[in-house]
Structure 1
Amino acid sequence: MDPKSTLSALRDFCAERLGPELAARYVDLARPGFALTEAEDPGEAAGLSRFGGRALLEPGTPWPACDGFPLSLIAVLDTDAMAPWLGDVLPASGAGLLNFFYLDAESEQCDPASYDLMLKHSHYDPEVSRVIPARFTHAVETEPPARSSVFEPIPWAAAPGFAFPDTWDPAWDGFDVGPDADDMARAMPGSYVEGLLTEWSERPGALDSEDIAFGWSQFPTGSSPMLPSGEDPNRYHHLLQLSGQDEWYIGGDGGWMHWSIPTEALRTGDFRRAIPTPDIW
């Protein structure tokens, strides 16, 4: 189905279980996104979307670095292939290819100097991450500099759907659960609504994946996006979630990697303002 039809079917599904008014408020939280899985053959790939490989940059684009140390290409999203489902999430002029870079201080490839840099800056510091766009018609595979990790490329298939905020996401703050709800429901509206939605896995547009493009980020630790200077998470939009790959992961015992961006910066295509918002345990 197309996004409009899928959203309408999702609203009907929720209305049967929540009633029309609560369902309408709940579906207003839905964001279009994609479940990312390894493409089994080239025809399944979402354009050039993939984990790892070489960066796809426009000629002359400087390789991103943290204190002079090169970051590593983690993933590429081909937003041209995703644009029909995302609607007005992307800038009107498009976003092309998005290259996601991060300071690799975790993989078997990482340079020992990266450890000290990560201790200095932390996993949440914008200096250890970059998101760099490139026009599809201009982008070329770019050789990484020395000390930058290169991971085996894994093309992604992208199944479209609609995501909802994590139970603990600040998006639930002030959510109206209706006059008949008790104090516990008002305190934990996400849990309350999800408890009423039986057969949730069968909903239209189900987005069920640990690796997600756009949509909403999920936080296994029951946390929420860690933003600089106490900024409001509701003013940010999720870009990419990675639960971990065979060659690369984040954090000490584990973690899920996220990148987010102010919504108004996403709409104007200013990806210089994208930041890392990982969930580490």
Structure 2
Amino acid sequence: MDPETTRSALRDFCAERLGADLAARFVRLARPGFELTAAGPGEAAGHSRFGGRAMLEPGTPWPTCEGFPLSLIAVLDTDALAPWLHDVLPAGTGLLNFFCLDADSEQCDPASYELSLKYDCFHPQLGKVISTRSAHAVETDPPARSSVFDPVVWAAAPGFDFPDTWDPAWGTLDLGPEADDMARAMPGQYVEELLADWARRPGALVSEDIAFGWPKFPTGSSPMVPWGEDPTTYHHLLQLSGQDEWYLGGDGGWMHWSIPTDALRAGDFSRAIPTPDIW
């Protein structure tokens, strides 16, 4: 289905369970997103992939943290995803290259770990997103000490995503006069209990690897953004649950990149930041 047909079907699904008024307000929280899975023949979402080499315009500086090179983790081809993104980001954004400091994989340079200890795991220095016009993009070899992961070409199945149960975005939802104090204290749980067959909704995204949409936080937290900033003013860019070659520190973790919504709409990806969930 196309985006508008899917959104309409989603609204009808929710109205049957929440009532028309609450469903209309609830569906306003929906954001277009994409399940990312290994692509079969003919399924590739343009140049979208995990790993491989960066796709940069000639002359673009390789991102660093205190001079130490970051590692290319993924590429998203927004031109291939554009039919579902509408006004989420400017037309012609092209390719988004996602970098972070690799301090945990088997490939990482030992010095990267010592460097990572100087920063909080969500510090802007530890991640970078660089946009590239598709017509000017070329595969770019990394500098020494930067990790290169075997590429996995992605297919991207579109749908609509909703906030994690504990996301602060739930605080913006008007539950209506029927909701009691307990419901207002935990609006995410309240709505989810009313949507018992939620997994069957139109446009459901069930992958742990997601582009755009909303971030999921298995630890029950919410996006970690710079001190004093409101996480509801940020938009999610990419979620990776982990790969065989690359993972976050500790016992595990999911990696996210987020960006202020106004910067996203302006195409200013210099303001994107890592927002990982580590346990």
Q: Which residue, 214, 217, 228 being the options, matches 2:215?
A: 217
1:26-83 C-alpha deviation (Å, 9 max, x unpaired):
1010000101111122x10100000000000000000011011000000000000000
**Dislocated runs of 4+, deviation >6 Å:** none
Letter in 1 for 2:242: G
DSSP 3-state at the match of 1:171: helix
Q: Give the TM-score normalised by the residue count of structure 1.
A: 0.98
Which residue number in structure 1 is paired with residue 269 of structure 2? 271
Which residue number in structure 2 is paired with residue 51 of structure 1? 50
Alignment pair present for 1:20 and 2:20: yes
Matches within 5 A, 1:1-281: 1-41=1-41, 43-91=42-90, 93-281=91-279
* Superposed CA RMSD: 0.8
Q: Cα distance, 1:109 vs. partner?
A: 0.2
Structure 1 residues 233, 142: CA separation in 2 closer, same or farther (over 3 Å shift)? same
Letter in 2 for 1:48: H
CA distance in 1, matches of 2:217, 2:135: 36
Letter in 1 for 2:240: L
CA distance in 2, matches of 1:174, 1:111: 44
CA distance in 2, matches of 1:153, 1:119: 28
1:222-244 C-alpha deviation (Å, 9 max, x unpaired):
00000112200111100000000
CA distance in 2, matches of 1:74, 1:249: 10
1:162-219 C-alpha deviation (Å, 9 max, x unpaired):
0000111010114222222222111111111011112211111011110000000000
CA distance in 2, matches of 1:70, 1:175: 42
CA distance in 1, matches of 2:220, 2:59: 42
Q: How high is the sequence identity, in percent, across the aligned residues?
A: 77
CA distance in 2, matches of 1:227, 1:200: 29
1:108-166 C-alpha deviation (Å, 9 max, x unpaired):
00000001110012321101111001111100000101000000000001000000001
CA distance in 2, matches of 1:171, 1:37: 27
DSSP 3-state at the match of 1:84: helix
CA distance in 2, matches of 1:211, 1:187: 29
CA distance in 2, matches of 1:35, 1:224: 20
Mark the runs of 5 or more structure 2 residues left unpaired by the alignment: none
1:1-33 C-alpha deviation (Å, 9 max, x unpaired):
110110000000000000001101110100001
Letter in 1 for 2:32: P
Q: Give the TM-score normalised by the residue count of structure 2.
A: 0.98
CA distance in 1, matches of 2:244, 2:135: 31
DSSP 3-state at the match of 2:211: strand
CA distance in 2, matches of 1:68, 1:233: 29
CA distance in 1, matches of 2:103, 2:223: 21
Letter in 1 for 2:237: L
DSSP 3-state at the match of 2:238: strand
DSSP 3-state at the match of 2:265: helix
